[in-house]
Chain A
Amino acid sequence: EAQVTQNPRYLITVTGKKLTVTCSQNMNHEYMSWYRQDPGLGLRQIYYSMNVEVTDKGDVPEGYKVSRKEKRNFPLILESPSPNQTSLYFCASSWDRVSYTFGSGTRLTVV
């Protein structure tokens, strides 16, 4: 089944403790992206990647890092999480740069 897999689904962590949210897709898509979803704000893009080793900032990149060492994987790294990064995170991939397949989401709480 074609899908984008994120892990974990739920995560509660403490301020400052580094964490990684993994994302993997099995569709051989070149384009991948991370979004955060907050009430009333819709989806905002954090980072995107156009191919292996090609990444760039989206609209809200502060406090996040990404890497794209393999085509299928696009992890999101929070080096020092803060409470304002409490959010619902989605990874997505695309073959045509605009139509996205989304993962099921990761609900992150930073206390």
Chain B
Amino acid sequence: AQSVTQPDIHITVSEGASLELRCNYSYGATPYLFWYVQSPGQGLQLLLKYFSGDTLVQGIKGFEAEFKRSQSSFNLRKPSVHWSDAAEYFCAVGGVVNSGGYQKVTFGTGTKLQVIP
């Protein structure tokens, strides 16, 4: 079975500081990996995704993530956080395909980011 762990429930950073959100996954083969962002009162928006190839993935809003197979991790980074980045961030893994061809996507429990001036 596939699973995702986001060990940090809540993170606070100062505006302008760098950010790293942690994500660890469990899956037997090379997974599809995603980061989504949820602003208050909104749905989830896809930030970036990893399917294959270059392990450093660039996304929208200046975010990037690095796939590290040896550590089963897909951490999200941003060099300089803006106040508008305050939101909840979800890591997700897509992997298992059932007999009907459906590919299951499993979400982590999320990390809430607070940005202080």
| Chain A residues close to B by CB (< 8 Å) | 4, 35, 40-45, 48, 50, 54, 56, 90, 92, 97-105
Contacts and interface: CB of A to CB of B under 8 A. Distances in A.
B45 interface: yes
Interface string B45-58: 11001000000000
For chain A, what secondary structure do more than half of its interface residues adopt (helix, strand, loop), or is it mixed?
A: strand
Contacts of A105: 41-43
Interface in B30-66: 32, 34, 36, 41-46, 49
Contacts of B25: none
B109 A40 contact: yes
Given A99-B34, A100-B46, A104-B43, A56 B100 contact: yes
A42 B32 contact: no
Contact of B102 (A40, A42, A48, A104): A48
